Amino acid sequence: MTQQQNHDPEIPYLTRTQILVAMGVTAIILWIIAKVWLRFGNVSLMAWRWHERELLMGIVLGLCITGISGLAYRFSPPYRQSADYYLEIVLKPLAMPDLIWLGLLPGLSEELLFRGVMVPALGYDHFAVILSSLCFGVLHLSGAQQWPYVIWASIVGLIFGYSALISNNLLVPIVAHILTNWISSYMWKLQRL
């Protein structure tokens, strides 16, 4: 087997338009699931309040996660290979301005469902954070060899979940998620220019 065949994705490469549509459709599906769960699940959405302190917490958390991800990328070959595989599929076709959507759509829709609805529905406790984080991690599975990336996404989900639990404000993980996606994706793209 040649080197190239070894790195070909298990799913076909998508075009820029297909990636943008897939992000939009995924965000809408997650939003619909969250809304249906809120409507029929007798659950209240986690509070989302705009406070400077929580905004700053989200920014600091996003910067910390991005830094730790950079270290994992640099020093863990399995994570680097897994992340590159995922990012090659998702980021390569996108133009730099598209990365705005890569931050906003998942940052809002995934946090709404996994932290905003799932954590309250499961009881605002360790079990709720762990289960929602595992679901969040599996959402990032794009192939059989992607387990290091899924594990990393699950760990990040734990961080997002506990930040929401501790602050009791969905704003913290939303800001952290959006910022992490923006910085990581811009850095990845810039390295490949």
What's the rounded mean pLDDT across residues 168-180?
97
| Domain residue extents for the chain | 14-191
pLDDT of residue 48: 93
More confidently predicted of 87 and 9: 87
pLDDT band, residue 9 (cuts 50/70/90): low
Share of the chain above pLDDT 70, in %: 94
More confidently predicted of 23 and 86: 23
24-59 pLDDT, tens digit per residue, is 999 999 999 999 999 999 899 999 999 999 999 999
Residue 12 has pLDDT above 90, yes or no: no
51-108 pLDDT, tens digit per residue, is 999 999 999 999 999 999 999 999 999 999 988 888 888 899 999 999 999 999 999 9
Q: What is the pTM of this model?
A: 0.91
Residue 6 has pLDDT above 80, yes or no: no
Q: How many CB atoms within 10 Å of residue 163?
A: 25
Residue 4 has pLDDT above 70, yes or no: no
Average pLDDT taken over every residue of the chain: 91
3-state secondary structure the chain: CCHHHHHCCCCCCCCHHHHHHHHHHHHHHHHHHHHHHHHHCCCCCCCCCCCHHHHHHHHHHHHHHHHHHHHHHHHCHHHHHHHHHHHHHHCCCCCHHHHHHHHHHHHHHHHHHHHHHHHHHHCCCHHHHHHHHHHHHHHCCCCCCCHHHHHHHHHHHHHHHHHHHHHCCCHHHHHHHHHHHHHHHHHHHHHCC
Residue 192 has pLDDT above 90, yes or no: no
pLDDT of residue 2: 40
